[in-house]
Amino acid sequence: MKAPEQIWFNGRLQPWRDATVHVMAHAIHYGSSVFEGIRCYATPDGPAVFRLEEHIERLFQSAKIHRIRMPYDAGTLVQGCKDVVAVNGLRSAYLRPVVLRGVSGFSLAPSHDAPVEVAIAAIEFGAYLGEEGLRQGIDACVSSWQRAAPNTFPASAKAGGNYLNSQLVAMEAQRLGCAEGIALSADGLLSEGSGENLFIVRRGVLYTPPAAASILIGITRDTVFELAADLGLRVVEQALPRELLYVADEVFLTGTAAEITPVRSVDGITVGAGSRGPITAALQERFFGLFDGRTPDRWGWLDPVAQQRAQRVTAAA
Ligand code: PMP
């Protein structure tokens, strides 16, 4: 990872080396943080952040679920995201806002006024599961680690602690020579990848596990719902057994980092023709078309980084 020069930290831009938290911060000991992963794309009109307001809204919801007091309003964090892209001179970036419980003793039930720290970093970032993975598909395996049951760790909160489970899933997959692991929910049905939602294509219909399957309700997942509707494809959210992965025509993963990544094998069994399938390719085409202007953004998903500065310049001129 190339370190960015400036990070937005507790309300202002600061040099990388100054954006630090204390070793006694509650979050370090207990995983009490919530965060987001957001992409900014280099579009023909300059850098634009994809579905920024929805990501910040999910950050607030994650904090609400875990009763973490947010010290800033959504507008401040939206602007902070744009500022870290602009100040570091980035054309495209992966944005990482994180909200964490600071130093407040060892109590597992911190008081409402316990300190909360907020940082936003923007880093240069390529294809999470590799450029080749995006084109050819990746090899995945079903993990021996399951997702936490719904009444243990709330999966719809993107909380730091949840990612201990994701790390076990991802590390096991890599040890087995796979690019990604797919976890089952506590009842043994399909859930999601360590950092992606899961889709199966069968006889022209898209299937994906529902919110109750211990998934993070992905924003890319929702983007696929919209793009699939545009292509006249039906998407069904339903509980899915593991073996559908083996007999699917196509399987793909979605996430801010992984974008839309085809899966060409699961547990050593070839999926469909063993390469990117036609529906996955059509969805990728629409998805990546949003960022080079081929797909009109009729949803208003792209939020330009420079718009405000440009407006300010115009106003002053
Ligand atoms: N599930 C998990 C566990 C994730 O970490 C992510 C990435 N944020 C996703 C799904 C996909 O979510 P999104 O499309 O909003 O990035």
Q: Is the distance from the beta carbon of residue 303 to the nearest atom of ligand 1 less than 6 Å?
A: no
pLDDT, one tens digit per residue, over 211-251 is 999 999 999 999 999 999 999 999 999 999 999 999 999 99
Same-domain check for residues 73 and 201? no
Whether residues 154 and 59 share a domain: the answer is no
Do 42 and 166 reside in the same domain of the chain?
no
Residue-range definition of the domain harbouring residue 39: 6-125
Verify whether ligand 1 is closer than 6 Å to residue 179 (CB atom). Answer: no
Of 118, 103, 160, whose CA–CA distance to 14 is shortest? 118
Quote the number of domains for the chain: 2
Asked if 81 and 193 sit in the same domain, the reply is: no
Of 125, 153, 180, the one marking the end of a domain is: 125
Quote the ligand 1 centre to 166 CA distance (angstroms).
Answer: 11
Residue 312 resides in a domain:
no
Distance of alpha carbon 55 from alpha carbon 217, whole angstroms: 11
Confidence of residue 307 (pLDDT cuts 50, 70, 90): low
3-state per-residue secondary structure call for 247-307: HCCEEEEEECCCEEEEEEEECCEECCCCCCCHHHHHHHHHHHHHHHCCCCCCCCCEEECCH
Dist. CA 220 → ligand 1 center (Å): 8
Are 100 and 140 contained in the same domain? Answer: no
Ligand 1 centroid from CA 312, angstroms = 35
Same domain, yes or no, for 28 and 141?
Answer: no
Which of 140, 144, 175 is closest to 250 using CA atoms?
Answer: 140
**For the whole model, what pTM was predicted?**
0.95
Decide: 284 in ligand 1 pocket, CB within 6 A.
no
For 163-215, what is each residue's pLDDT tens digit? 999 999 999 999 999 999 999 999 999 999 999 999 999 999 999 999 999 99
Q: Domain for residue 174, yes or no?
A: yes
The pair of structure tokens assigned to 167 is: 């790390």
Residue 220 in domain: yes
Name the domain boundary from 125, 151, 177. 125
User: What is the identity of the amino acid at 185?
Assistant: S
Please tell me if the CB atom of residue 216 comes closer than 6 angstroms to any atom of ligand 1.
Answer: yes
Distance 106 CA to ligand 1 centre (A): 30
Residue 116's closest CA among 77, 171, 88?
A: 77
Residue pair 49/81 in contact (Cβ under 8 Å)? The answer is yes
Domain annotation covers residue 250 = yes
Going by the DSSP 8-state scheme, the letter that residue 16 receives in this structure is G
Same domain, 22 and 62: yes
Q: Residue 269: which of 120, 140, 116 has the closest Cα?
A: 140
114 and 252, same structural domain?
no
For the chain, what percent of residues have pLDDT higher than 90? 91
Please check whether residue 302 lies inside any domain of the structure. Answer: no
Give the pLDDT confidence score for residue 51 in this predicted structure.
98
Residue 310 lies in a domain: no
Per-residue pLDDT, 311 = 46
* Residue 297 resides in a domain: no
At 44 the three-state DSSP class reads coil
Q: Say if residue 181 is in the same domain as residue 251.
A: yes
Residue 141 and residue 100 in one domain: no
Any idea what the CATH number is for the domain that residue 65 is in? 3.30.470.10
Under the banding of pLDDT at 50, 70 and 90, the label for residue 306 is confident
Of the listed ranges 108-112, 173-177, 298-302, the least confidently predicted one is: 108-112
Domain final position from 108, 125, 142: 125
pLDDT of residue 108: 94
Summarised one tens digit per residue, pLDDT across range 111-132 is 888 899 999 999 999 889 889 9
Do residues 193 and 269 both lie within one domain? yes
Token pair 């409402």 is found at 112
**Domain assignment of residue 32, yes or no:** yes
pLDDT of residue 2: 83
CA of 1 to the centre of ligand 1 (A): 20
Q: Across the chain, what does the average pLDDT equal?
A: 95
**CA-nearest residue, atom 9 of ligand 1:** 196
Element (H, E) at 46: strand 46-50
Q: What is the pLDDT of residue 127?
A: 87
What is the phi-psi region of residue 86: left when phi exceeds 0, alpha when psi lies from -120 to 50, beta otherwise?
alpha
CATH number of 272's domain: 3.20.10.10
Helix (H) or strand (E) holding 95: strand 93-101
31-62 confidence digits (pLDDT tens): 999 999 999 999 999 999 999 999 999 999 99
Tell whether 205 and 112 lie within a shared domain.
Answer: no
Read off the pLDDT band of 155 (50, 70, 90).
very high
Which residue of 33, 197, 253 sits with most ligand 1 atoms within 8 Å of its CB, as the best mutation to test the pocket?
197
Give the nearest ligand 1 atom to 194 CA: 3
Q: Write down the catalytic residue from 2, 64, 82, 158.
A: 158
Does residue 82 carry a catalytic annotation?
no
Look-up: residue for tokens 């401040």? 76
